[in-house]
Amino acid sequence: MARGCLQGVKFLMFAFNLLFWLGGCGILGVGIWLAATQGNFATLSSSFPSLSAANLLIVTGTFIMAIGFVGCIGAIKENKCLLLTVSAPRTQAPSLGPAPYLC
């Protein structure tokens, strides 16, 4: 009974991390599309021309993709270090404080 429950939790962790990875792919794709089609139209600040909506989406999508990928690998391999590394940005992001429980 307990073994089946743990397999279910493992599958759910993998599924949610896969959703994060797919969401990151989507955000990255929209960012690349904006960069290719809009050029500098969506520049957020005239003093920082590289700070555009497209670049922000590309960076955010890449970060979310990396977190999702590490989470998927950590869930499949049941690696505690990878799972703690994934959970740190998700729990510490609102406070922007240090993540004390990284490996």
Strand partners, 63: none
d(CA 59, CA 52): 11
Nearest partner of 18 among 73, 72, 57, judged by Cα: 72
Name residue 52's amino acid: S
Give a yes or no: residue 8 inside a domain: yes
d(CA 31, CA 61): 8
pLDDT in tens, 58-101: 999 999 999 999 999 998 988 888 888 887 766 655 555 555 55
For residue 22, what are the domain limits? 1-40+53-86
Percentage of the chain lying above the pLDDT 70 cut: 75
Give a yes or no: residue 12 inside a domain: yes
Domain count, the chain: 1
